[in-house]
Amino acid sequence: MRPDKGWMLRRKDQFGSITEEFRNGVDGFIQVAKRDPKFAYVTGHIPCPCGKCRNRYWDISFNV
């Protein structure tokens, strides 16, 4: 079963603020990416979680 990525589509609320669901989704993604050896490079870089770049861009977790 694939993880739910719906949180990526619900980034902002009706007022233009970042939703709590989105923040939690990003935090969860970063935690999984840091634990998974096939994602976490030795340099500490992890892939961007968005579908727009198709996970082509990698950066430190602080910037993701």
Is 10 within a domain?
A: no
- Residue 37: domain span: 17-60
The number of distinct structural domains making up the chain is 1
- Please give the pLDDT value at position 20: 94
Instruction: Select from 27, 35, 29, 32 the least CA-distant residue to 51.
Output: 29
Is 12 within a domain?
A: no
Tell me the whole-structure pTM to 2 decimals. 0.60
Q: Are 40 and 31 in contact (CB under 8 A)?
A: no
The more confidently predicted of residues 24 and 31 is 24
Give the mean model confidence (pLDDT) for residues 37-47: 67
Is 46 within a domain?
A: yes
pLDDT bucket at 2, cuts 50 / 70 / 90: low
Is 3 within a domain?
A: no
Is 5 within a domain?
A: no
